[in-house]
A = this chain, B = another copy of it.
Amino acid sequence: MKTLVIVAHPDFDGSPTQNFLKASGQLMPDVTYHVLDQLYPDYQIDVAKERAILAAHTQIIFQFPLYWYSAPTALKAWLDQVLQTKDEERLPNYTGKTLGLVVATGTAEKQFDPGGSEQFTLAEILRPYQALAHKLQMTYRTPLIISQFSYLTEIQKQRLLIQYQQYLTMTATNFTAQTDWFVQRLVQLQQKKPDQPQLAAILATITANQEQLADLKATLALMKGEISDGSN
């Protein structure tokens, strides 16, 4: 799966959040970074080029800080120009692609809860993007929200790094998909650094756990079958 991260931020280089995310995301294979404000500082989008890039990716991520309850100007300029259908040009087919959002807020996440100071939830505030995904027949993913990045502890930042990398490279986030993702990452790391015995040990443990879990699931399924056989 190829992921295109479309970033809208008027001061991308000066943003600690965006720098952290870019450093995390660029470690991943098949991830393209696309910083609109740097590519198009005057908001004049190269529509043909953008459509070609869209066509080459299956997952599109809009990544931005929330400014007045929506993305900054650059993303709106991109949407208005790239998606417009007035001309005869054929639009790329968006059907089946995935749309994800990575949204940074300066306000604490709990202020968007019912009773919080913001009056509306982030799910509601981000509805226009969900409506867009629906219109384009894209699959809308639960947004990844990053609240008050500068207040995060080191541990929280490490967790965010994993979450973010998974968001960019996985479409499902269930337990099996997550362990598979870790195993895959460890195997890649081991290939790069074959002289680290700890990696092999961790991999062996996780793989053993996965096998044990698979056995337990099979036993459970068998027991359910027996009970169900007995009662019928």
Contacts and interface: CB of A to CB of B under 8 A. Distances in A.
A127 B120 contact: yes
Interface in A69-87: 69-70, 72-73, 76-77, 79-80, 83-84
> How many of these chains are in the complex?
2
Contacts of A84: 67
B118 A69 contact: no
Contacts of A43: 43, 73, 77
Given A68-B83, A80-B73, A127-B127, A119 B134 contact: yes
Given A43-B73, A73-B73, A119-B134, A128 B68 contact: yes
A132 B76 contact: no
A125 B127 CA distance: 6
A70 B67 CA distance: 14
